[in-house]
């Protein structure tokens, strides 16, 4: 038996390899013009990680927050053009002194268990966030509130000590049901496994390690979502996700640059999927530890920026799917300042600046030196992010060409933060920040935020930036705010405490049977409840 | 035999405590803490929050106090609550993940034995034949081939292109609407590729081991005697030689027991199987101390029990071991 089975198995394997069969093409949609919105069908997407906790106040991972986004609502949200609009709040008034915000809540909204939503829920949620016994990582914005009150069932009012411009956006936090959580220790609540919200989808099932399922809320206040069911499968490997997608087992995933550029450019793929690309709210940078004598000289930092070929990194690492970053804001937002000083790739200028700063190759070994010390430093980055590692390798090569010797060290995340970043024990690091529509950068750049575990770990101190950041937080008027942040970006561009490297693109792909997708500055998922599958193309009956 | 057993069982207790102590110290030596996941690089997380979380998890206590508390709980068979954000009992999490890992590993051991033992015997009895050489090449390919690569290959060809097998997961969407028998088939269908991949690498070791044992045994005098008596080759090999050649395999089987729960991170990740390997890996990455310790303790107990079972089987098979 064995004698036979081995060759048979081998033959099967060989056959499979040689066959080159095309995948099942599944449902190929008709033209968009014929499509009519219809209720029904299941939408399947995958998440790399298992959600941790479906109580938004406790969850910090993206899988949980994505599901929570379907089950819960906030008072406000960002619309397709990244402007704040009401969600559970119908409207709001801001007092002339910018200190008080009064939210007028929607009437007739119901929790998924049928209980009515009122201002008592908002009040309860606010108190829960600032309760010292709540182990939440999101309390800081709500601690700025001096006084909160709920004068009636549909009004909620908060007053701040001083004007706080990010305040309104902070009320996008998800509101929790008082009647189900009051008196229960928050970490013991059954809602962490079985959420009950006011959102467009109702939680139905969570199979640990496998999937989370939510179904359309027929009573949703903005109208019932077209899609009947959404399934989040936990697929920890991105290659497996991609195979599932190609097989038609997934309707949505975020592609990597290589998948976008080289593995999905076939006609067969494009007949079944729509690919999208837009700039993500994040950027990657090379940050210099300004406590190190080498980086105290601005000319050295500027020289290093001139020595880096950002376009080469974008082509090599992102396969062209990104843009050069010039500051902390992404280029297509209102706050972005296009007129700051730029650092095009110019090795001669880099050499000249370094020479001006006193660095010369006196011993002819190809490495610049000063007072007998060679110009060398180490760049650290975290393990598990290939794009950053490759970015480091490309920069290393370019630095070498201007006479700077650079070592690259890749360190496991926890050790990276604890032993290097928080301890201030590094020369330079490659990292990235993810942001959002709110431009406040106080925590990253203000000189008061250079403490042990704080975010200004490169120790950037600039009195004018401090003043601008404080003012930016207090200014509600967008035009005035823009002037403040324009100046802030000019200073960063001049000082180069970071070399801002690139803004990568998000590369989502969606099965073509899904309609109603309208790309906008906010991406594609902002109108998810209006996505639909025409009746004749629906794939899942149940 | 009873004395032998009692002695072995008693020896296991200090050994187990030693293992837990070393594990406890080692995982606490690794940089980073479970609370870091919530607070690191988070502008909203203040220093007080960090301290409060540490106190909540008992991380502000000296290490020996933490270990003492943990050991105290363990003596009541309480593995504590996970430090991850879901705060669920460790036992519950392990119970959810254990069955699938045990099923896959058991099936893969059975598959390995069912294929490797006959290959080993035939290779030994037909030494240097075409079959022997071909299987040598085949098993070494299996040994050398990274399991993730084999898995991806099979998923791509067997799953996407030929559509013979499901690509990932352990059940189909809508599994709950199927009839009982269809559900069983659905599960089996999903398990074929993972079990094959998990067994493939093990085939080489076991079949080579079986082959060399067999070669050793057939050189013994009693085999010569058996042959001289005029017994058929079949009887000589399968009745006399095989029994002795199989003995050392028992040890290997004993050592495979911890693998039954350890699972494999790689194939569980690739096939999206919610098993112990992935649970443990995520636990380590998140510094979820109670979970890590829970899995390690169960693994240690199983290793010790596996060794004990192997020793008992040995002692039963060979009286000299009992006496010594």
d(CA A513, CA A41): 10
pLDDT digits (tens, 9 = 90+) for A495-525: 999 999 999 999 999 999 999 999 998 899 9
Cβ <8 Å between A209 and B177 = no
Say if B111 is an interface residue toward chain A (CB within 8 Å): no
Taking residue A499's Cβ as centre, other Cβ atoms within 10 Å add up to 22
Question: Which of the 8 DSSP states describes residue B118?
Answer: H
Say if B168 is an interface residue toward chain A (CB within 8 Å): yes
List CB contacts (< 8 A) between A22 and chain B: 161
Q: Bridge partners of A499? A: A286
Q: Could you say which of B50, B97, B159 has the minimum Cβ distance to residue A209?
A: B97
Q: Which residue of A2, A268, A440 is the best one to mutate when testing the B interface, meaning the one whose CB has the most B CBs within 10 A?
A: A2
Cα torsion A304, A305, A306, A311 to 10°: value is 130
Cβ <8 Å between A135 and B56 = yes
Q: How far is CA B59 from the centre of its chain?
A: 31
Dihedrals phi, psi of A324, to nearest 5 degrees: -65, 140
Cβ <8 Å between A61 and B85 = yes
d(CA B217, CA B110): 24
Residue extents of the structural domains in chain B:
98-273
Three-state DSSP class for residue B283: helix
pLDDT score of A118: 97
Cβ <8 Å between B38 and A137 = yes
List CB contacts (< 8 A) between B153 and chain A: 17
Mean of the pLDDT values across residues A394-423?
A: 93
Cβ <8 Å between B278 and A236 = yes
In a domain, A190, yes or no: no
Residues contacting residue A70 through CB under 8 Å, at least 6 positions apart: A199, A200, A201, A214, A230, A528
d(CA B81, CA B218): 55
d(CA A395, CA B142): 40
* Best CA proximity match to A416, nearest among B198, B41, B55, B19: B41
Say if B26 is an interface residue toward chain A (CB within 8 Å): no
d(CA A447, CA A462): 7
Joined together, the tokens standing for residue B103 give 């099923």
Say if B30 is an interface residue toward chain A (CB within 8 Å): yes
pLDDT digits (tens, 9 = 90+) for A175-232: 999 999 999 999 889 999 999 999 999 999 999 989 999 999 999 999 999 999 999 9
Angle (deg, nearest 10), helices B242-262 and B289-317: 170
d(CA A151, CA A120): 10
Mean of the pLDDT values across residues A334-357?
A: 96
Cite the DSSP H helix spans in A402-477. 413-415, 442-445, 463-474
Joined together, the tokens standing for residue B293 give 């310790």
Q: For the domain that residue A438 is a member of, what is the CATH number?
A: 3.10.105.10
A297 and A424 in a common domain: yes
Q: How confident is the model at residue A22 (pLDDT cuts 50, 70, 90)?
A: very low
Q: For the domain that residue A209 is a member of, what is the CATH number?
A: 3.40.190.10
CA distances (Å), B3 to each of B7, B8, B214, in order? Answer: 6, 8, 33
* Best CA proximity match to A418, nearest among B58, B37, B63, B23: B37
Cβ <8 Å between A192 and B86 = yes
A122 and A85 in a common domain: yes
In a domain, A478, yes or no: yes
Mean of the pLDDT values across residues A386-392?
A: 95
pLDDT score of A134: 86
Cβ <8 Å between B43 and A52 = no
* Best CA proximity match to B142, nearest among B209, B195, B194, B202: B202
Shortest distance between the Cα of B199 and any Cα of chain A, in A, equals: 14
Question: Searching chain A, which residue's CA lies closest to the CA of residue B176?
Answer: A542
CA distances (Å), A539 to each of A249, A250, A528, A533, B161, in order? Answer: 11, 12, 18, 9, 20
d(CA B149, CA A295): 45
Mean of the pLDDT values across residues A399-422?
A: 93
Q: Could you say which of B50, B157, B272 has the minimum Cβ distance to residue A453?
A: B50
Question: Searching chain A, which residue's CA lies closest to the CA of residue B87?
Answer: A187
Shortest distance between the Cα of B96 and any Cα of chain A, in A, equals: 8
Joined together, the tokens standing for residue A14 give 């060989």
**pLDDT cut 90: percent of chain B above it:** 29
A292 and A263 in a common domain: no
CA geometry: angle A297, A299, A300, nearest 5 deg: 70
Question: Searching chain A, which residue's CA lies closest to the CA of residue B130?
Answer: A3
The domain in which residue A481 lies consists of 282-505
List CB contacts (< 8 A) between A413 and chain B: 32
d(CA A54, CA A65): 8
Check residue A505 and give left, alpha or beta (phi > 0: left; psi -120 to 50: alpha). Answer: beta
List CB contacts (< 8 A) between B115 and chain A: 2, 5
Cβ <8 Å between A135 and B119 = no
Q: Could you say which of B31, B45, B158 has the minimum Cβ distance to residue A418?
A: B31
d(CA B29, CA B67): 13
Concatenating the DSSP letter of every residue in B229-251 gives TT--HHHIIIIIIHHHHHHHHHH
* Best CA proximity match to A443, nearest among A455, A461, A459: A455
Cβ <8 Å between A414 and B30 = yes
Mean of the pLDDT values across residues A531-536?
A: 94
Q: Could you say which of A53, A233, A418 has the minimum Cβ distance to residue B85?
A: A53
Cβ <8 Å between B158 and A16 = yes
Question: Searching chain B, which residue's CA lies closest to the CA of residue A192?
Answer: B86
Q: For the domain that residue A161 is a member of, what is the CATH number?
A: 3.90.76.10
A464 and A347 in a common domain: yes
What total number of domains does chain A contain? 3
Question: Which of the 8 DSSP states describes residue A260?
Answer: I
A480 and A342 in a common domain: yes
Residue A349 · residue A401 · CB < 8 Å: no
A434 and A342 in a common domain: yes
Question: Searching chain A, which residue's CA lies closest to the CA of residue B82?
Answer: A52
Q: Which residue of A414, A433, A440, A456 is the best one to mutate when testing the B interface, meaning the one whose CB has the most B CBs within 10 A?
A: A414
List CB contacts (< 8 A) between B279 and chain A: 209
Residues contacting residue A406 through CB under 8 Å, at least 6 positions apart: A376, A377, A378, A379, A395, A396, A399, A400
In a domain, A2, yes or no: no
Q: Which residue of B37, B161, B196 is the best one to mutate when testing the A interface, meaning the one whose CB has the most A CBs within 10 A?
A: B161
CA distances (Å), A243 to each of A86, A99, A235, A255, in order? Answer: 39, 53, 11, 12
Q: Could you say which of A233, A419, A540 has the minimum Cβ distance to residue B169?
A: A233
Q: How confident is the model at residue A33 (pLDDT cuts 50, 70, 90)?
A: low
Angle (deg, nearest 10), helices B90-125 and B180-218: 50
Cβ <8 Å between B122 and A2 = yes
Taking residue A430's Cβ as centre, other Cβ atoms within 10 Å add up to 23
* Strand A229-234 versus strand A42-47 pairing type: parallel
* Strand A405-411 versus strand A376-382 pairing type: parallel
* Best CA proximity match to A531, nearest among A172, A251, A195, A112: A251
A490 and A455 in a common domain: yes
A424 and A407 in a common domain: yes
List CB contacts (< 8 A) between B86 and chain A: 52-53, 192-193
In a domain, A206, yes or no: yes
A30 and A172 in a common domain: no
pTM of the predicted structure, to 2 decimals:
0.87
Cβ <8 Å between B161 and A20 = yes
pLDDT score of A10: 44
d(CA B14, CA A491): 64
Residue A496 · residue A313 · CB < 8 Å: no
Question: Searching chain B, which residue's CA lies closest to the CA of residue A15?
Answer: B157
Give yes or no for residue A315 having a pLDDT over 60: yes
A120 and A19 in a common domain: no
Residue B96 · residue B263 · CB < 8 Å: no
d(CA B7, CA B3): 6
10 Å CB burial of residue A388 (0-12, 13-18, 19+) is buried
A512 and A469 in a common domain: no
d(CA B124, CA B236): 13
Give yes or no for residue A1 having a pLDDT over 50: no
Cβ <8 Å between B173 and A42 = yes
Residue A213 · residue A194 · CB < 8 Å: no
d(CA A51, CA A49): 6
Mean of the per-residue pLDDT values for chain A?
91
Cβ-based contacts under 8 A for chains A and B: 163
CA distances (Å), A242 to each of A252, A508, A509, in order? Answer: 10, 12, 10
Joined together, the tokens standing for residue A492 give 């960063």
* Strand A76-78 versus strand A84-86 pairing type: antiparallel
HEC sequence for A218-253: CCCCCCCCCCCEEEEEECCCHHHHHHHHHCCCCCEE
Shortest distance between the Cα of B37 and any Cα of chain A, in A, equals: 8
Residues contacting residue A400 through CB under 8 Å, at least 6 positions apart: A366, A406
Question: Searching chain B, which residue's CA lies closest to the CA of residue A541?
Answer: B174
Concatenating the DSSP letter of every residue in A502-517 gives EEEEE-EEEETT-B--
Residue A498 · residue A455 · CB < 8 Å: no
Mean of the pLDDT values across residues A269-296?
A: 95
Give the residue ranges of chain B where pLDDT is below 50: none
Residue with tokens 């270990």: B67
pLDDT digits (tens, 9 = 90+) for A162-179: 999 999 999 999 999 999
Say if B281 is an interface residue toward chain A (CB within 8 Å): no
Say if B58 is an interface residue toward chain A (CB within 8 Å): no
Residues contacting residue A254 through CB under 8 Å, at least 6 positions apart: A506, A507, A508, A509
Question: Searching chain A, which residue's CA lies closest to the CA of residue B174?
Answer: A542
ipTM field: 0.86
Residue with tokens 């009573």: A219
A140 and A158 in a common domain: yes
Give yes or no for residue A460 having a pLDDT over 80: yes
Give yes or no for residue A489 having a pLDDT over 60: yes
Say if B113 is an interface residue toward chain A (CB within 8 Å): no
d(CA A388, CA A395): 11
Cβ <8 Å between B161 and A137 = no
List CB contacts (< 8 A) between B31 and chain A: 412, 414-415, 418-419
Q: Which residue of A137, A138, A194, A208 is the best one to mutate when testing the B interface, meaning the one whose CB has the most B CBs within 10 A?
A: A137
* Strand A273-275 versus strand A376-382 pairing type: unpaired
Mean of the pLDDT values across residues A4-22?
A: 41
In a domain, A189, yes or no: no
Q: How far is CA B96 from the centre of its chain?
A: 17
Looking at 1.10.3720.10, 2.130.10.10, 3.90.79.10, 2.60.40.10, the CATH number of the domain B98-273 comes to: 1.10.3720.10
Residue with tokens 């009541």: B76
Q: Which residue of B27, B38, B139, B162 is the best one to mutate when testing the A interface, meaning the one whose CB has the most A CBs within 10 A?
A: B38
């Amino acid at each position: 038996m064995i004698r036979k089975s081995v060759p048979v198995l081998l033959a099967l394997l060989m056959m499979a390899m040689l066959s080159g069969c095309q995948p099942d093409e599944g449902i190929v949609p008709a033209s968009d013009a014929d499509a009519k919105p219809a209720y029904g069908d299941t939408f399947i997407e995958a998440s790399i990680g298992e959600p941790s906790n479906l109580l938004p106040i406790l969850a910090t991972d993206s899988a949980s927050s994505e599901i929570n986004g379907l089950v819960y609502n906030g008072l406000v949200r960002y619309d397709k053009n990244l402007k704040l609009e009401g969600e559970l709040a119908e409207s709001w008034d801001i007092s002339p002194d910018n200190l008080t915000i009064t939210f007028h809540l929607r009437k007739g909204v119901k929790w998924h268990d049928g209980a009515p939503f009122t201002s008592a829920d908002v009040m309860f949620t606010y108190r829960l966030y600032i309760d010292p016994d709540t182990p939440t990582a999101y309390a800081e914005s709500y601690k700025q509130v001096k006084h909160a009150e709920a004068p009636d069932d549909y009004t909620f009012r908060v007053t701040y000590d001083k004007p706080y411009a990010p305040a309104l956006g902070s009320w996008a936090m998800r509101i929790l049901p008082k009647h189900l959580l009051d008196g229960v220790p928050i970490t013991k609540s059954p809602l962490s496994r079985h959420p009950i919200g006011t959102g467009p989808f109702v939680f139905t099932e969570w199979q640990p390690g496998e999937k989370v399922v939510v179904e359309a809320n027929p009573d949703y206040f903005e109208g019932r979502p077209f899609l009947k069911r959404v399934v989040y499968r936990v697929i920890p490997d991105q290659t497996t996700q991609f195979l599932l997608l190609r097989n038609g087992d997934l309707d949505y995933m975020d592609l990597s640059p290589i998948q976008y550029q080289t593995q999905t450019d076939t006609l067969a793929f494009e007949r079944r999927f729509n690919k999208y690309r837009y700039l993500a709210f994040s950027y990657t940078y090379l940050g210099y530890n300004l406590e190190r004598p080498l980086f105290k000289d601005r000319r050295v930092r500027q020289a290093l920026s001139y020595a880096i070929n950002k376009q080469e990194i974008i082509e090599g690492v992102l396969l062209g799917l990104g843009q050069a970053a010039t500051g902390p804001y992404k280029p297509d937002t209102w706050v972005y300042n296009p007129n700051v000083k730029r650092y095009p790739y110019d090795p001669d200028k880099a050499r000249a600046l370094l020479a001006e700063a006193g660095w010369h190759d006196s011993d002819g070994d190809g490495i610049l030196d000063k007072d007998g010390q060679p110009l060398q430093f180490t760049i650290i980055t975290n393990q598990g992010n290939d794009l950053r590692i490759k970015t480091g390798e490309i920069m290393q090569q370019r630095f070498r060409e201007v006479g700077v010797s650079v070592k690259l060290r890749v360190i496991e995340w926890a050790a990276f933060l604890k032993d290097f970043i928080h301890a201030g024990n590094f020369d330079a690091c490659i990292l990235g920040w993810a942001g959002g529509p709110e431009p406040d950068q106080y925590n990253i750049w203000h000189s008061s935020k250079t403490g042990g575990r704080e975010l200004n770990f490169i120790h950037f101190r600039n009195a004018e930036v401090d003043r601008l950041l404080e003012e930016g937080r207090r200014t509600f008027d967008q035009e005035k705010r823009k002037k403040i942040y324009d100046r802030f970006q000019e200073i960063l561009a001049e000082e180069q405490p970071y070399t801002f490297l690139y803004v990568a693109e998000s590369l989502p792909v969606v099965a073509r049977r899904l309609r109603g997708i309208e790309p906008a500055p906010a991406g594609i998922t902002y109108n998810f409840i209006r996505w639909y599958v025409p009746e004749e193309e629906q794939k899942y009956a149940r | 035999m009873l004395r032998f057993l009692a002695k072995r069982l008693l020896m296991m207790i200090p050994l187990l405590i030693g293992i837990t102590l070393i594990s406890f110290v080692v995982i606490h030596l690794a940089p980073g803490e479970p609370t870091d996941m919530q607070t690191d690089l988070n502008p909203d997380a203040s220093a007080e929050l960090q301290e409060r979380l540490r106190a909540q998890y008992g991380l502000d206590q000296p290490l020996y106090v933490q270990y003492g508390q943990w050991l105290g709980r363990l003596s009541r068979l309480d593995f504590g609550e996970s430090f991850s954000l879901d705060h669920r009992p460790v036992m519950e999490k392990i119970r959810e993940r254990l069955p699938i890992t045990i099923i896959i590993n058991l099936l893969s051991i059975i598959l390995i034995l069912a294929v490797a033992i006959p290959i080993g015997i035939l290779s030994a009895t037909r030494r240097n034949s075409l079959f022997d050489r071909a299987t040598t090449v085949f098993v070494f390919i299996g040994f050398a081939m990274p399991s993730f690569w084999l898995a991806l290959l099979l998923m791509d060809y067997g799953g996407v292109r030929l559509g013979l097998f499901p690509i990932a997961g352990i059940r189909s969407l809508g599994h709950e609407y199927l009839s009982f028998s269809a559900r069983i088939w659905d599960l089996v269908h999903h398990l074929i590729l993972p079990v094959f991949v998990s067994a493939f690498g093990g085939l080489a070791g076991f079949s080579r081991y079986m082959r060399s044992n067999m070669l050793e045994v057939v050189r013994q005098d009693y085999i010569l005697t058996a042959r001289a008596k005029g017994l058929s080759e079949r009887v000589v090999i399968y009745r006399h030689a095989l029994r002795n050649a199989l003995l050392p395999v028992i040890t290997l089987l004993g050592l495979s027991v911890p693998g039954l729960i350890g699972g494999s991170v790689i194939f569980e990740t690739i096939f999206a199987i919610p098993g112990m390997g992935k649970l443990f890996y995520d636990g380590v990455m998140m510094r979820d101390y109670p979970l890590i310790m829970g899995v390690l303790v169960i693994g240690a107990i199983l290793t010790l029990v596996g060794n004990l079972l192997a020793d008992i089987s040995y002692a039963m098979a060979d009286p000299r071991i009992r006496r010594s």
